[in-house]
Structure 1
């Protein structure tokens, strides 16, 4: 079957391609040359066809697929929040999010202040880029203590080797421990440089007054991504 080249306005791709019919206002519009293909979708071996208005396309060598169709075919709900221009797949946050990178620690040791200063966007070994993240890349143990005053319910984050480790030898990088008022709430397994899945952190911090995060590196440059550490109220 012949490929078809078309022009799309980038500003409406979220509404038309990802959500199938949702109207979205775009601040900036750009004309894109794309190529549509007769894509077939298989989920656990079963072929499912997308609606006519939710077709995939190719742009600059990358294939884009309709998020709503794919997510719902996998049993996950998709929610668009226009106020913050956010897309949620699966569960939405249960309460207000406060990212660790937006808070000032009460006290620190080692190079923790440097980790905070260098926080931002990082890409993991699996080519996933996350904002509001930290990179645990210090050769000495480092820790930071935060005063929560019992105002949060949960602390969530992820751990994964950075894209720096692509194509490099396997190494044991280090561990992280999280304390609430002096008690261990979480102790990670050893993070390896060839890990292919995120180590998810989800702990109850209800009534916790002081939270301490301790990082213990095993090598000089561990390059572990501390993915979107955040508190939920």
Structure 2
């Protein structure tokens, strides 16, 4: 049972703290409100470790039947760094302690795309050939090649692009190819090693400062054969 003698007046601008591994944006103007909160000897256990020895300004409290814990103390106890940007009223929580903000390609529009390309916003995944046998044919070094391409406008907003290439669901054992990332002038920004059905997932990240448009192409010698190739967590950082 809570000790009512430990009920104190508490002056707070923002009383709700949410623990996340991304970004919390606050858009409303700050409001100061006097509220009654309850302090007690609450324990904090994080991944099995006792983190109850919080400083006085980081103690948990109960307000209106809900328990609140200071965001910075909890985040830092979990190995994260916290950055407050007063200009945008934004809290950033990540490993680097910077103002990185990620945008997922699957949740935004694209400039152009070939048939068979599918964007899954819920899974944050881009499929370069979703249960399809489409491909644009071209010749290179006296050999026929095929490619599927999608283009996204970055407008110089992206510092870097990252994701994970996954072919584990490919339906054709003989499929071989690579993913090539171009800028608006067809300069190669990054390309994967040769991909096959047996290829393990490949994480990647490359710099894109100043890039206006990102073109993503899967280039293969047999793209007319059905395949499934996806880029998971495909995103850019601002």
Give the TM-score normalised by structure 1: 0.52
Match of 2:227, SS state, is coil
Structure 1 residue aligned with 2:79: 78
The structure-2 alpha-carbon separation of the partners of 1:111 and 1:18, relative to structure 1 and needing over 3 Å to count, comes to same
Q: Which structure's CA Rg is the greater one?
A: 2
Answer yes or no: is the 8 Å Cα contact 1:133–1:227 preserved in 2.
Answer: yes
Look up the SS of the partner of 1:191 in the other structure.
coil
Aligned residues: 153
Write the deviation string for residues 114-170 of structure 1: whole angstroms up to 9, x where unpaired: x11x4543xxxxxxxxxx1223334223211112111111111111223x46xx995
Deviation at 1:206, TM superposition (A): 0.6
- Rate the CA distance shift 1:169–1:96 in 2: closer, same or farther, 3 A: closer
Would the aligned equivalents of 1:172 and 1:190 in 2 still touch at CA under 8 Å? no
Q: Note if 1:156 corresponds to 2:162.
A: yes
Runs of 5+ consecutive residues of structure 2 not aligned to the other structure: 1-43, 53-59, 63-75, 83-91, 135-146
Unmatched runs of 5 consecutive residues or more in structure 1 = 1-14, 26-67, 69-76, 122-131
Q: What is the DSSP-based 3-state SS (H/G/I as helix, E as strand, rest coil) of the residue aligned with 1:78? A: coil
Tell me which moved more, 103-112 or 132-141: 132-141
**Whose helix fraction is larger, Structure 1's or Structure 2's?**
1
2:199 paired with 1:207:
no
Counterpart mapping for 1:114-153 below 5 A: 115-116=118-119, 118-121=120-123, 132-136=124-128, 137=130, 138-140=132-134, 141-153=147-159
What's 2:234 paired with? 229
Q: How far did 1:179 drift?
A: 0.5
TM-score by length of 2: 0.51
Partner of 1:36: none
- Structure-2 separation of matches of 1:192 and 1:87: 37
Query: What does 1:185-196 correspond to in 2, within 5 Å?
Result: 185-196=189-200
Cα drift, residue 173 of structure 1: 4.5
